[in-house]
Amino acid sequence: MSEQIEPDAASHADQQRQRASRLAQAVRSELQKAVIGQDAVIDDVLTALIAGGHVLLEGVPGLGKTLLVRALARCFGGEFARIQFTPDLMPSDVTGHAVYDLQTEQFKLRKGPLFTNLLLADEINRAPAKTQAALLEAMQERQVTLEGRALPIAQPFMVLATQNPIEQEGTYPLPEAELDRFMLKVRMDYPDDDQELDMVRQVTRSTRADMLDVQPLRTVLQAKDVLALQRIASDLPLDNQVLDYAVRLARTTRNWPGLTLGAGPRASIALVRCARARALLRGGAFVIPDDIKGCALAVLRHRVRLAPELDIEGLEVDHVLRQLLDQVPAPRL
């Protein structure tokens, strides 16, 4: 009897996976309509969403960091909130606080913008460490402690934080503990010639001043769909050799020449979770070494520290990580 059930169960799981892949690819197509020339960044953000992680988006002004998050919010039927981080922002402005109610003569908890599904933390490095730390508990434990009470945050919950890499005036670097909470650090670069031409053509046709409109985008995902995508991705088969490859990459950063600080075990976990999400996004039935390799830079670049002498020479951490990726042998499946 069990032999008859197993093929049906396997084909049902296969159908579910294919439906999930099509749904993820539909979101990607919608985002590409609004954010031109940033396909790799879109894939990274969707990878983190499916893997259940948070993203730190870094790029110079005007590349569409905020636009990408707003476009994702438009495609997603859940709740969306935005916090503009400034030097005078208080932790209670993020998490919420107790307010005295004159009618009941009792304190009531007023929840902050952190209680949402999709949170845009805009220019996160403009607020001091005390305010940045208000996100830590929510990002790791999916709850916020207010007035001694632990309040759960609705699932799914994703923080997308933006920062400008070149502006140092009035900014506060993110502490290592918080950087480590971000599954991916994604760099947004300038689009290439053709994509920039296409972007300028589309924007100048629009009635909006200098940006693409996200209003025409379709709502493709609901909160339950994201949770289903996360569940299906976490069940994707992963060969032991591929798992070993992910762990070896993270461990190699700890004694690699040119790096003074290596990645911890959270990086190994993030590599595997992201690889599963990437496999689902490309429509794969299982994880391959290229899925690990494809997300390795975004997973590792904020978890390692470049040696001071290389920093002085103007070498970037991505350059050292690419060398590491080239030299750590990937399994052949």
Query: What pLDDT score was predicted for residue 2?
Result: 32
The pLDDT of residue 312 is 83
pLDDT (0 to 100) of residue 3: 36
Phi, psi of 106 (to 5 degrees): -135, 160
* Angle separating helix axes 317-327 and 289-300, nearest 10 degrees: 160
Nearest to 78 by CA among 104, 49, 108: 49
Q: Are residues 92 and 172 in the same domain?
A: yes
What 3-state DSSP class applies to 190?
A: coil
Distance CA 61, CA 109 (A): 36
Residue 272 belongs to a domain with what CATH number?
1.10.8.80
Total domains present in the chain: 2
Q: Is the peptide bond before 257 cis (omega within 30 degrees of 0)?
A: no
The answer to whether position 25 is within a domain reads yes
> Which of 264, 252, 244 minimizes the C-alpha distance to 320?
252
- Check whether residue 205 and residue 278 sit in a common domain: no
**Do 63 and 206 have their domain in common?**
yes
Residue 249 lies in a domain: yes
Successive 10-residue mean pLDDT values, the chain, 333 residues: 48 88 94 87 96 92 83 90 92 85 76 92 90 89 86 93 76 83 92 78 65 76 94 95 96 93 94 97 94 96 91 87 95 83
**Shared-domain flag, residues 184 and 246:** no
Residue 107, pLDDT score: 72
Residue 230 lies in a domain: no
pLDDT digits (tens, 9 = 90+) for 211-238: 556 777 889 999 999 999 999 999 999 9
Q: Are residues 208 and 316 in the same domain?
A: no
- Residue pair 52/155 in contact (Cβ under 8 Å)? The answer is no
Residues 46 and 86 in one domain: yes
List the end-to-end C-alpha distance of the chain, in Å, as a whole number.
33
201 and 249 within one domain: no
Same domain, 49 and 172: yes
Task: For residue range 196-218, list pLDDT tens digits in order.
Answer: 787 777 777 766 555 556 777 88
CATH of the domain at 113: 3.40.50.300
Mark whether 197 and 278 lie in a shared domain: no
Q: Give domain status of residue 104, yes or no.
A: yes
Instruction: Assess if residue 214 is contained within a domain.
Output: yes
- CA distances (Å), 303 to each of 184, 252, 261, in order? 10, 13, 8
For 46, residues 6+ apart whose C-beta sits below 8 A from its C-beta are 24, 27, 28, 31, 277, 281
The CA distance from 205 to 203, in Å, is 5
Q: Does residue 242 lie within any of the structural domains?
A: yes
Dist. CA 41–CA 295, nearest whole Å: 11
Q: Is residue 199 part of a domain?
A: yes
For the stretch 41-78, pLDDT in tens is: 999 999 999 999 999 999 887 778 888 888 999 899 88
Based on the fold, state whether residues 68 and 210 are members of the same structural domain: yes
Domain boundary among 168, 202, 223: 223
Q: Do residue 107 and residue 248 come from a single domain?
A: no
And the tokens for 296? 């390795």
Task: Name the token pair of 292.
Answer: 């690990």
Rounded to whole angstroms, the Cα distance separating 253 from 261 reads 8
Tell me the H-state helices in 35-183: 39-51, 65-75, 91-95, 129-132, 136-141, 176-179
State whether 214 and 274 are in the same domain. no
The range of the structural domain enclosing residue 251 comes to 236-332
Helices (H), the chain: 2-34, 39-51, 65-75, 91-95, 129-132, 136-141, 176-179, 193-205, 223-234, 240-252, 265-281, 289-300, 308-312, 317-327
Domain end marker among 223, 253, 271: 223
Backbone torsions φ then ψ of 104, nearest 5 degrees = -90, -10
| End position of a domain, from candidates 223, 244, 264 | 223
Tens of pLDDT, residue by residue over 86-103, are: 999 999 899 988 777 777
Q: Is residue 3 part of a domain?
A: no
